[in-house]
Amino acid sequence: MAQYIPVSLDLPSDLLCALGHAAERVRCAPSDYVWRVLAAHVGTTPAGPAASVGEALACASDWLDLQRRLRAGGHVLRQRDGALMLMSWPLERFLVPLAALGHRTEDLVLRFGAPFPTDLPFRQTAPARFRHRAA
């Protein structure tokens, strides 16, 4: 598993602004965008996820099975703004929209026969009821 180490960069304000706009266009944090650009140009590109995601998708029988297979490869799916995003696991850093790898959410919904399971709101259980004794 990769170890992440925080670093700081001195950037001119116009470059920092352009970085913010570029990251916004692909719906990720500027730090994740820098990580992707550096990985692509230094040679440790996360292009590997395409192969492992394709294999997980080919073998998965449902959404839960797909998430298990993806996690085994260091990835996970999360939904953002109605689109599925491939994230790293366990740190959940944005990698790429699933659609960019050629996999449409609609096709997976049809295949698995269910929509992508999103986080359900917390439900409190009803308080226990007590029997009243006649005094």
The more confident residue out of 97 and 123 is 97
- Domain residue spans in the chain? 12-45, 46-116
So what's the pLDDT on residue 45? Answer: 47
124 — pLDDT class (breaks 50, 70, 90) = very low
The pLDDT tens digits of the residues spanning 46-74 come to: 445 666 778 788 888 899 999 999 998 88
The pLDDT tens digits of the residues spanning 24-40 come to: 776 667 877 777 677 65
Please determine, for residue 121, whether its predicted confidence score (pLDDT) is greater than 60. Answer: no
Q: Is 82 left (phi over 0), alpha (psi -120 to 50) or beta?
A: left
Element (H, E) at 95: strand 94-97
Q: Which of 70, 65, 40 is nearest to 52 (CA)?
A: 70
So what's the pLDDT on residue 126? Answer: 45
81 — pLDDT class (breaks 50, 70, 90) = confident
pTM score: 0.55
d(CA 10, CA 51): 35
